[in-house]
Structure 1
Amino acid sequence: MDNEYTLEELACLTQEKIDLGEKLLEDLAKLDSVDGVRKISKKISQELKFLNKVKNTRTVSVNHILCSNLTHFGCLVQCLLSCENVTHVDYPLPLEERGSKLRVDIVADGGATWIKVIARNPKSLSDAVHGRTSYGSKSILEQAEEYVEAAESNPHMFKPPRVVFRFLSNIDDELVTELQQIGVIVLVLQTSQPVPRTETATVKSLNLDITTLIAYVSAMTNGSAHWEYNEPLLTEQARWEREKPIKPLLEQYFHGKELICCETAYSSFNEILSILGGPKEKSRAEELFRKVRILPDVPLPQEMKNIKVGGKIKPRSLQIFAFGLMHEAITVTSNEGFVRAARMQGLEVPVFLHDARALTEEKEQSGRLLDE
């Protein structure tokens, strides 16, 4: 087949691929902060390095051009640029039942949409649909079933993410119908359709963690942040509070939502308050709990039973976050350590994170009031 092209034509075709790769790197540089983008940029750079080498040594072949992954990366980046609120690119998900991993090309809409980009030509697509691929490769319908099953097992805000397969080439109506029956949304990249966005999930209940209860009633967050304390951490928190007040943020997030709290969080908070809280902080707590429903603790849901306790995973925190999951409520917390540690063990909990604030009314007696 190489005989159909002169060396100059092959060099020209290779340069087109190189130009594409360099443009993709420019586009990806704008999205450098998105998880996984640097990994894709590195893969594109490796492709460019190889293509430049075969071009410069005049050893390029047609297969080098046809088999280049830059076609796939081009589709991926084009799709990426049309998406909103992308959180991950090339995101690995464990498939527990199958003992393998599924890679989601793009996680968009804050986690509510999963996109698989398929850059195959029509002939290759037809083969892939019917399983006429290399040994061990899955048909597109098998991949669709895996994606939908994984979405069911990995809900975002208590709902499975919508699964989108975005094709470079037009596909036949029969395949579209079969994919839709499985539960996949089908788009064709050539038509420049934007990915359909999922409406932001409206969660009506908020589960208040101990850290949030403390932050809400603290003297520091209620107009008394101009202090220097004996404890450097509290002085630092006061500086953060002056720069970014927490209470207005919480008030805005609480608006129009049901506030709930488990018995464990309620009793633990009251224990802390009785030891460290000042009179005004205790008064604010009484006022707050006129708006908060205190409900019984719940058994750990199945997805939490295998979580190993230790380090940032404390039994009390596990109970509080389990309560939020069971009631399909977003847990409001400053316990970022638990959230990260749980994620490392494969548990994603819907949370609203805020900075920590301590009870400080009693600490003011030994502190120094700053000039405002």
Structure 2
Amino acid sequence: MSGAVSRANHLVHGMGTELEAPVWPAITEAEAEGVLAHFPQVGRVEALRWHSPRPFSAATLVEAGGETLFLKRHHRAVRSPAALGEEHAFMAHLRAKGLSVPDVMVTSDGGGAVAQGEWTYELHRRAPGIDLYRERQSWTPFLSHDHAFEAGVALARLHAASRDFAAEARDDRPLVASFTIVPSSDPLASAEAYLAARPALDAYLDGKSWRRELARLFDALGEGIVDRIKGRPTLWTHNDWHPSNLLWSVRGTVSAVIDFGLATRTCAIHDLATAIERTAIPWLEIGGNAGDPQAARALIAGYRTVLPLTGADVHTIARLLPLVHVEFALSEVDYFAGILADRGQADLAWQDYLIGHAEWFLSPPGRDFLSRLEDAA
């Protein structure tokens, strides 16, 4: 397999700026050969060309039968074949609507996933486009405001295509977005229900003053959210809209959307706020930085070229933004505390991500960011 990459020194993104040894080991050539044997339309494995630095799974680009394929491996506690089936159904719907998303390959028994021991695998044909951001951390900005604008265009097209996808919200799976606490008239009661469905998270937070912390954040940042969100139509959304989940054309437009692992039923405003939270604020190097409200406004401007956004919608995005990360942060705490039994990383997700990100919006730079975002209304 000449030209294949080595997995010996493979590192992945951590919760900070440094690369770390992977929790999930890189996929081997023999492993890839065993999995691809379940796909009769695929030729013999020729080489593994790249190992993904994303931390929550293992993935590689495989050259086989003259084409490049994307092979991804999940621990079965993170993604079962049934869970992948939910994502794949949404992707198939979007493809049928004309969106460019990865083509999920089907096994000899008609499924879209392979279960082997403790692992679950999925195989995609490589999506078209340039993977400009593939080595960059998820929480890093677009390279330009033009990219932010085009990302907004692509997000609106996805929302338009997903309107008639009828699947219900996904159940209590790890590392999946949700929309139950933030829009609730009683967020603490909804948080109690969220914890009750996740014993490892409940055990981790036992003894912490989590109720007081969440109550403080919702009191300070949640005023009016419920009324603003109430009655908005729900739809399946991407929920992880950041630069490295987009592929690009040479003209600088979005050529494909990838990684639907967090997709579920929320609402368009929630997805837009998530996209801004992921891309317009440099969380990994925040310091005294006020973020980039112009990038947020460019994303909204791009969105508006496809779907309407009223001034009230933009105000709602700004109100939702400081708390939009809360539920996925809890999911990360659950992943670290339960599946990995890594209390240190769970502490980081709870204190630095969930609480720290919300508190930033109470600081002068955070308040200035929200004010300048609302100017886009």
| Shorter-normalised TM range | under 0.3
Give the TM-score of the pair, scaled to structure 2: 0.23
More helix per residue: 1
Give the TM-score of the pair, scaled to structure 1: 0.23
Radius of gyration: which is bigger? 1
